[in-house]
Amino acid sequence: MSWSVPWACQGELSMGDRQLLQRLRVAMEANAAAYRRAVQTSAPGDCWDYLVLTAANEKQAQGYRQELALRHREVGPTGAFFPAIQKSLVVPDPPGKRAGSGGATLGVMRALAAEFALGRQDLCRARILLIHSGGASQRLPAYSPLGKIFAPLPLLRPDGQISTLFDHLYITLAGLPERLGPGMLVVAGDVFLLLDHRHVSAPGDGVTALTMRVEAEMGLGHGVFVTDSRHRIRRTLQKVSVQEMKQRGATDAHGRVLIDTGLLFFDPASTAVLAELAACPAQPSRRPGQGLHETCPGPIDLYEDMTAALASATDRASYLGKEARKKPEARSQNPQARGRKGDATGYWPLVTGCCSMRRRLWNALHGIPFRVMELEGQFLHLGTTRQFRDAMVGQNPSPAAELFQHNVLTHSAWPLADGRRIYHSVLLARDGKTGTIGPGAVVEHSILAGEASIGAGSVVSQVLAVNRPVRLGNNLLLFQVPVRDATREGTKARRHGGTKGGTRQEQLPTACRHLPTVYVHVICGVHDDFKGRYGDGQCVYLNRDIDEFLARHGISPRELWADVPGDQRTLWTARLFVGTRDRDAAGTIAWMGDSACASPRQLAAWRKAPRWSMAMLLEQADPVALIEHREVVSAYLQTSALLDAIAGGLDRPAESYIGHYTTPAAYAACLDLLANWSGAAGDEAQSALRRARAAWAAVTLLQRPDHPDPATARRQVEDLMSSAFAHIAQASEVAHASIEIDRGGAARLRPGLAVEAASPVRLDLCGGWSDTPPYCYERGGHVVNVAIDLDGVAPVRAAVKTIREPKLVLHSHDLGKQVVLTRLAPQERHVQVHDPFALHKVALRMAGLLPEEGQDLAAHLRRLGAGLSISTECRVPKGSGLGTSSILGATLLGALQALAGRPATPQQLIEQTLLLEQRLSTGGGWQDQVGGIVGGVKSTTTAPGLPQRPNVEALDLTDEQYAAIEQRLVVYYSGQQRLARDILRRVMGSWLAREPSVVLLLEELKKSAAALRSALLKSQWTIAARQIGRYWQIKKELFSGSTTPTIDVLLLELREDYLAAGLAGAGGGGFAYFFCRDARQAARLRARLVEVSSRPGSMGTLYEARINRRGLVVTTRTA
């Protein structure tokens, strides 16, 4: 089919249209501001009290309820979409009956009264927004399963989510409750309306139609108003010709008309009339009677019946006349009657009871003031697939359509030229190959990959095609609908698509809700007529007479319409569309849209497969699965944005990118992308750090309290945490490979050689955490700490001696364990975190004293010349917080290297100990080994990058300054143990997650360390105490578990006897230290701590602390 216009934007806008477009954008901003204010204040009078959607049937209503529930959901950084005080309701038409828009309006009044226990006066005082959104949307089939009202648009909501037609309408009207006051605003949900709420004035009494003045041609498919000089509506004309509009006085001097936008406001008095017609009880406690919508056997139309009664020039006799009219169904079945023109009183009741209905409406409504309020704005009808597509790609002349001319929420590896509209979709490369999209095509709510091709003017909606690329011709529509896998036969109505063109809907049995989901692939033409009857030659499929398709593939009409009466055989009821268990199977049915004949194999598969009609899909669509797919697309988009941010080094948390989903499938999609991400381009170490951050982002998602499958999520958390820190260890391993111990050839040992090494422990005075990977790798660190002996002894010791037997003797005084090894089991050749001698073995391997993979231990020791006996000891309680594990590693490494004849410098030991810690997966930083290896008070800094190379500055303090610090320093063991690894994971996990508060606190740590260094050099002890106290406060803010109630009570009890205090290391227990005003205050504090330690149940101990100015000392002797 040739295009009537080229697929490009229809030229430059005129100056007038550009000005109008600018006003529309201003209106959108103003409406969004009013919406945000309504949500934030949630005050009565500023927002709608009740929001009501009508639905064609209960099945559609279920989907609407799901959608509204999502918008009421108060999770995530943006909170709920709706104001907190707003109540929402979905009201379906009664089963087996078409209520009509007027009958549905009365049904809403009754439903509100019943659901929220409201009397008539309560209804009159409320601000009610009623959006009529029922109907099958047969002319826009892609959105039929969930309703046209939730069709997506290439616009963003204020919270950054993709906007639907509903969202746009709601935001546009969000500022009206304050301006209109109490009453009910009725809205048609099938049009795109844009107006500036600030131009709406207070309405007069009665009913007000909010209208816009448009060219008469636009009124051909809509209602228009005939008014008098006082803006009162004399007549309502429905779908009449331009000539008749002129004859009836609807046009102005410029040939324009006031169009019925579908916005009708009923003031409190007229709302009360509607409530009475609906038989709402005066008091909630009273039983309601039968409303007009219940007693009338046919539908009541809001426009043909109700507004006609309101119009002042309507003739009563004509309105209640006896001339018969046909039912809407009969009228649509007669081709000569289609498009019949006339005013709203031009069709007359036929069904018994309709005369009575009109009489009651006339008596109740006629005489109520009915006027227009003319507004500037835009009215865009998106009633068909073609209209929808044309508006999206710039083929609609309306300036409002210009608002759609951009791609939003799109992640694309495909080349995209102008004139294509992609939104809320992901276009992926596969094996380096990408797809193509033709001019004028639309892709929305979809994930496509590989060498797919979307033809010119085609529309792809809600499709997943990753493993099987889709190849779609020109001017076609492809979408997928999830349904429950109910029996293929089902009920008779389900087999042939219901009755009356699918107007009768049935719910799936309750048992079917637990059945597997099947995905139905619908392929049709953009111009198809789903309402045209096959017998009349009006059934158009793939943009041509359906007989062409049937003849081409040798398919008989009976295969599509088995048991369907002839007058109901339409494209809507044709069982054409195949369902599969695998959603990613659209590529297998694309042959249906080809002009070539299908292969025998394809036809056989089509005949064998379960097939659905659109009428069946409307009944059986799974609304939860529809939302699930939308969330999966969001997951791909948002996770891709997060990964881009990680690759770009942006400090934004996952929470700012990834929404709070309601379906496990969306979280699974996030986790799959995060866990399998390669880390983007760059060196291997940096790539590993990026993968660590991605893995931890997955951890934060799984730990959300609103995760839809918390049990499964909890089981995955530990593995992902380990994965994140394994990536950090990998980065460290790669970066520090160049600074591993230079073995200089195999060591030669002789029996009788003994090496002893002793180190002080460290007290971190400020800046701790900034030295910890991966933070220090990415931002650098600054720590001030001091080396101390406890009770006059350097507490950390390692002794290594050579022995004659070719064996390895490992002894830990702290653990009270010893092991003698003559061979290494396969698992011992790798780090075993829970092995009590893991540190010894890793240090031995780093020093080159353990054999390589596959070599025998005893043979290796014989080649070295001696066996080894290693003993380690930390003379402090376990979990002290004094850095003993790192210092012990440095001490042992120093001893082993001296034994091997390769003594290391302090700088080498510091860097090698960081590598040792990473291999042990303890995740510690560099300040511990700095504190033990280098004596005295140090200020140590590093620049960002790998490997870390600490710049250690031993502060140039005088003996008097050292004495002053010692006099003021008090060290006390709290009696509570803690494991640093858990706290390390939590704090560095928060950094990996880029929690904003943690990012700021870690930067503040470094600033505080610099301030402390300056204060110590200047002997400004009060300022130094202030920085030490701030350091403790930051630790607690970084992780509340850094302290305990017992510690808090102790520090509070002693508060008058120190200037600053804190727990050493990561906190959570271990050693506390205090910095006092002077020696006298310190002496008083020591006395009080002795008293505290003597209390029953106390495990605390006061230690004598002296600054160790020598650091690590290694001595070698011959036995």
Give 168-179 pLDDT, tens digit per residue.
999 999 999 999
Rounded to whole angstroms, how far apart are CA atoms 185 and 181?
Answer: 10
Interacting residues of 936 by C-beta distance below 8 A, sequence separation 6+ = 786, 787, 954, 955, 957, 962, 1107, 1108, 1109, 1111
Considering 90-99, 449-458, 494-503, the range whose residues carry the highest mean pLDDT is 449-458
Share of the chain above pLDDT 90, in %: 75
Rounded to whole angstroms, how far apart are CA atoms 280 and 301?
Answer: 20
Residues forming beta bridges with residue 544, ordered by sequence position = 541
Q: Is residue 743's pLDDT more than 70?
A: no
Residue 14 is classified by DSSP as P
Q: Is residue 855's pLDDT more than 80?
A: no
State the distance between the two ends of the chain, measured CA to CA, in whole angstroms.
Answer: 99
The pair of three-digit structure tokens given for residue 385, joined into one six-digit string: 């697939």
Mean pLDDT of 758-780: 96
* Model confidence band, residue 492 (pLDDT cutoffs 50, 70, 90): very low
Rounded to whole angstroms, how far apart are CA atoms 169 and 193?
Answer: 7
318 vs 944, which has greater pLDDT?
944
* Model confidence band, residue 678 (pLDDT cutoffs 50, 70, 90): confident
Among 40-49, 901-910, 981-990, the range scoring the smallest mean pLDDT is 981-990
Interacting residues of 868 by C-beta distance below 8 A, sequence separation 6+ = 749, 800, 801, 802, 803, 808, 809, 844, 849, 861
* Model confidence band, residue 828 (pLDDT cutoffs 50, 70, 90): low
At which residue do the structure tokens 């011959």 appear?
1118
Q: Is residue 534's pLDDT more than 60?
A: yes
User: Cα 143 from chain centroid?
Assistant: 23
Instruction: Specify the pLDDT at position 460.
Output: 98
Query: 551 in helix, strand or coil?
Result: helix
Q: What confidence tens digit (pLDDT) does each residue in 943-990 have?
A: 999 888 999 999 999 999 999 999 999 999 999 876 555 788 889 999
Rounded to whole angstroms, how far apart are CA atoms 533 and 573?
Answer: 10
Q: Is residue 687's pLDDT more than 50?
A: yes
Instruction: Specify the pLDDT at position 1119.
Output: 66
Q: What confidence tens digit (pLDDT) does each residue in 995-1022 have?
A: 999 999 999 999 999 999 999 999 999 9
Rounded to whole angstroms, how far apart are CA atoms 714 and 704?
Answer: 10
Q: Is residue 50's pLDDT more than 70?
A: yes
Which amino acid does the sequence have at 43?
A: A
Instruction: Specify the pLDDT at position 980.
Output: 55
Instruction: Specify the pLDDT at position 739.
Output: 67
- Among positive and negative, which fits the CA dihedral 332, 337, 343, 349? negative
* Model confidence band, residue 747 (pLDDT cutoffs 50, 70, 90): confident
Query: 842 in helix, strand or coil?
Result: helix
* Model confidence band, residue 733 (pLDDT cutoffs 50, 70, 90): confident
Interacting residues of 1076 by C-beta distance below 8 A, sequence separation 6+ = 967, 968, 969, 970, 1057, 1058, 1059, 1082, 1085
Mean pLDDT of 45-49: 96
Enter the pTM of the model. 0.84
Q: What confidence tens digit (pLDDT) does each residue in 149-161 have?
A: 999 999 999 989 9
Q: Is residue 4's pLDDT more than 80?
A: no
Interacting residues of 187 by C-beta distance below 8 A, sequence separation 6+ = 129, 130, 131, 132, 169, 173, 193, 262, 263
Instruction: Specify the pLDDT at position 285.
Output: 81
* Model confidence band, residue 922 (pLDDT cutoffs 50, 70, 90): low
619 vs 569, which has greater pLDDT?
569
135 vs 918, which has greater pLDDT?
135
CB contact at 8 A, 925 and 785:
no
427 vs 484, which has greater pLDDT?
427
Instruction: Specify the pLDDT at position 11.
Output: 52
Q: What confidence tens digit (pLDDT) does each residue in 186-243 have?
A: 999 988 999 999 999 999 999 999 999 999 998 888 899 999 999 999 999 988 999 9
CB contact at 8 A, 58 and 92:
yes
Query: 581 in helix, strand or coil?
Result: coil
How many residues are given for the chain? 1119
Q: Taking all residues of the chain, what is their mean pLDDT, rounded to a whole number?
A: 89
CB contact at 8 A, 657 and 697:
no
Q: Considering only CA atoms, which of 199, 57, 946 is closest in space to residue 498? A: 57
Q: Is residue 486's pLDDT more than 60?
A: no
829 vs 46, which has greater pLDDT?
46
Q: What confidence tens digit (pLDDT) does each residue in 323-350 have?
A: 334 344 433 333 333 333 344 444 434 4
The pair of three-digit structure tokens given for residue 604, joined into one six-digit string: 């056989």
